[in-house]
Amino acid sequence: MKEKTAIIIGAGLAGLATGIYAQINGYKTHIFEHAPRPGGVAATWKRHGYTIDGGIHFYMGFKPGQPMHALYQELGIDQPDQYQEMDIYGRFVDPIKNIRIDLTQDLNRLSSDLKAIAPDDSAFIDRFIIGIKAFKGGNFMASMAKPPELTRPWDIGKMLWSIRKILRYYSGAYAQPINRHTQTIKSQTLKEFIEHIFLPDVPVWFVLFTLGMFSSGNMALRRDGSAGFVRALEQRYLSLGGQVTYRTRVEKIITRKDRAVGVELKDGEKELAGMVVSAGDGHATVFDLLGGRYVDANIKKRYQEWPLFPSVVLASYGVTRTFDKDPWNIVLKSPTLIPTGFMMDNWMPVRIFNYGDGFSPPGKTVVQVMISSQWDPWHTLRRNEDAYRKEKEALSRQVLESLGHIWPGLDKDVEMTDVATPHTWWRYTLNRKGAFEGFAVTHTAINTKIYRTLPGLDNFYLAGQWNTPGGGVLPTFMTGRHAVMLMCKHTGRKFTTVS
Ligand SMILES: Cc1cc2nc3c(=O)[nH]c(=O)nc-3n(C[C@H](O)[C@H](O)[C@H](O)COP(=O)(O)OP(=O)(O)OC[C@H]3O[C@@H](n4cnc5c(N)ncnc54)[C@H](O)[C@@H]3O)c2cc1C
């Protein structure tokens, strides 16, 4: 069998990164992708002259000199003109209490703004700001330098040394979900603000890390959106000689004598190769494509018990306004809990695509609301086309009413509406229960080794967000890199990033 060939399942970020590193290292690869285009959950689609970016919000490591910038160069996405450093993370608005907090890179300003609304919580605020500062400028991908299979005790020692200043944040009070940590806060407004900087149930350190990255100028928006980012990755892969086939779903991974030797496609056709990498949904890979034959107790437990990243509804509106004075992100406390859409909270991040020309026709803008939602009710509802459509319509009307609290009369300027549900995410990317970032970021998940190989199966590798809880652009790229590092190790090659 030709050992220098590899089949990759999925052309999401991880699949494309795997393909790029594999091609650089001299393997001949072929990606099979179920969707009609690359990107996976970093998805973009067109509606009535508008481009809806349903993917990546911000890009870390985009600037030369920042940790992880090398990845941008290796993967062909180092395009300085496309990145716009984020000077504001978001504006938090509670229209009923008439509160507005801008979260900018200036942490002293943040501290005084928060103390103005919550004077009795000064001590908490001081600790929170100190925590953010501790995370400024660090290389948090140091723990992902190598796949777990190749990580030796001295690698762990080196990594722990590099993060020694923030080590204490990964345990104790800072490892608990932020909505538990905030129980000691006296001000309800501050409590809600802190909980909605990211998601209410992520660990405290995750929020500190995110704001540490942001406040050190390590986060950008991309002017041409996820579409431009994915296009650049795909071009890099193709320019290295990689092959990709879209609209082709892999149904089965073919094994012989406990070695992966190829895949069977939906139409029954078989494609053989020396190695197989799955960069698609983790559960489907292990239990469907491989029939659950290569699992151990840890893998079973992970898929049975670990909570998934919450799924979302994305309501996008094409509006005949320009929003020149608004920031790109407003986190709105909706005065009413939206009764439809199986919504889990009444805080809603509102993404305003006013930072690029390609999202809408001149003089118009896409405004998008992301709502944490549940999988089961949408999945059930989807069986009844009419009920599903009506639920989406009701939800988009109610969300629009909430937006009217920030922009009165907005509904009159809306000329396009699009609603994507958890079911849409699943249909488009096959991610289990529409969980668009894999497993939730919990203390257990973060502290568990997830191998890029399966027990008892040779010539097979796992890449993608299901192997790095919480997903994310850089971590998923790293899983692709890991898969190729292991391929090299197993086939006696020295891994390189130089093409
Ligand atoms: C709205 C949104 C905002 C986000 N914001 C950010 C952000 O700001 N910063 C950040 O770092 N991350 C962000 N993320 C997360 C990040 O985009 C994802 O974690 C990452 O893109 C996941 O990539 P992946 O390749 O692992 O998985 P996927 O994107 O799920 O790709 C898997 C691919 O495999 C294909 N596939 C699956 N099964 C098969 C099969 N059997 N046969 C053929 N093909 C198959 C799927 O169609 C899909 O294309 C965001 C995600 C979303 C949705």
Q: Tell me: the pLDDT tens digits for 301-343?
A: 999 999 999 889 999 999 999 999 999 999 999 887 776 677 7
Take residue 379 and report the two structure tokens written for it. Answer: 């999945």
Question: pLDDT over 90 for what percent of the chain?
Answer: 85
Task: Indicate the average pLDDT of the chain.
Answer: 94
User: What's the mean pLDDT in 30-47?
Assistant: 97
Instruction: Give the CA distances from residue 437 to residues 198, 248, 377, 404, 487, in Å, rounded to whole numbers and listed in that order.
Output: 14, 22, 20, 30, 25
Q: How far, in Å, is the centroid of ligand 1 from the Cα of 392?
A: 23
Question: Residue 336: its pLDDT value, please?
Answer: 78
For residue 67, pLDDT over 70 is answered with yes
The pLDDT of residue 342: 74
Whether the per-residue pLDDT at 427 is higher than 60: the answer is yes
pLDDT value, residue 141: 80
Q: Is 11 in the pocket of ligand 1 (CB under 6 A)?
A: yes
| Per-residue tokens: 20 | 């790029």
pLDDT at 187: 96
Beta strand spans in 208-343 (E): 219-222, 243-245, 250-256, 259-265, 270-272, 275-278, 311-319, 329-333
- Residue 42 CA, ligand 1 centroid: distance in Å: 6
Distance 481 CA to ligand 1 centre (A): 16
Q: Strand order in 219-222's β-sheet? A: 59-60, 219-222, 83-85
What ligand 1 atom has the least distance to the C-alpha of 431? 30
What pLDDT was estimated at residue 344? 67
pLDDT at 476: 97
Residue from 276, 473, 474, 481 to probe ligand 1 pocket by mutation (most atoms less than 8 Å from CB): 473
Of 386, 295, 326, 300, nearest in space to 88 by CA: 326
Q: How far apart are CA 386 and CA 381, in angstroms?
A: 9
Q: Does residue 89 contact residue 329 with C-beta atoms inside 8 Å?
A: yes
Closest residue CA from atom 27 of ligand 1: 12
Give the number of other CB atoms < 10 A from CB of residue 361: 13
Atom of ligand 1 nearest to the CA of 13: 25
CB atoms within 10 A of CB 382: 17
For residue 246, give the DSSP letter: -
The pLDDT of residue 69: 93
CA 62 from chain centre, in angstroms, equals 16
More confident residue, 372 or 472: 472
Cβ distance 3 to 275 under 8 Å? yes
- Probe ligand 1: pick from 430, 450, 474, max atoms within 8 Å of CB? 430
Predicted confidence (pLDDT) per residue in 443-464, tens digit: 889 889 999 999 999 999 999 9
CA of 425 to the centre of ligand 1 (A): 10
- Beta-strand (E) ranges in 211-308? 219-222, 243-245, 250-256, 259-265, 270-272, 275-278
Ligand 1 test: best mutation among 250, 437, 439, 467, most atoms within 8 Å of CB? 437
Q: Is the CB of 57 under 6 A from ligand 1?
A: yes
**Tens-place pLDDT, residues 86-108:** 999 999 999 999 999 999 999 99
110 CB neighbour count, 10 Å cutoff: 21
Predicted pLDDT at 345: 76
Tell me the per-residue pLDDT of 162-198, one tens digit each, with 9 for 90 and over.
888 888 888 888 999 999 999 999 999 999 999 999 9
Mean pLDDT along residues 217-239: 97
The pLDDT of residue 468: 96
Can you tell me the distance from the alpha carbon of 260 to that of 263, in angstroms, rounded to the nearest whole number? 8
Burial label for 157, CB within 10 Å (0-12, 13-18, 19+), is exposed
Taking alpha carbons only, the member of 331, 328, 135, 126 closest to residue 215 is 135
Q: What is the pLDDT of residue 310?
A: 85
Give the SS3 label for residue 313.
strand
15 close to ligand 1 (CB < 6 Angstrom): yes
Q: How far is CA 417 from CA 126, 219, 369, 394, in A?
A: 42, 29, 11, 12
Q: In this predicted structure, what is the pLDDT of residue 301? A: 96
What's the whole-model pTM score?
0.96
Res. 3: pLDDT tops 60? no
In the predicted structure, residue 2 carries a pLDDT above the cut 70 = no
Which strands, in side-by-side order, build the sheet including 329-333?
A: 99-104, 88-94, 329-333, 347-352, 365-373, 311-319, 414-420
Q: Is 419 helix (H, G, I), strand (E, B) or coil?
A: strand
**Contact, 233 vs 16, CB < 8 A?**
yes
| Pocket lining: 10 vs ligand 1, CB cutoff 6 Å | yes
**Cβ of 195 less than 6 Å from ligand 1:** no
Q: How far is the CA of 424 from the centre of ligand 1 (A)?
A: 13
Q: Which residues of 235-248 are buried (b: 16+ CB within 10 A; e: fewer)?
A: ebbeebebebeeeb
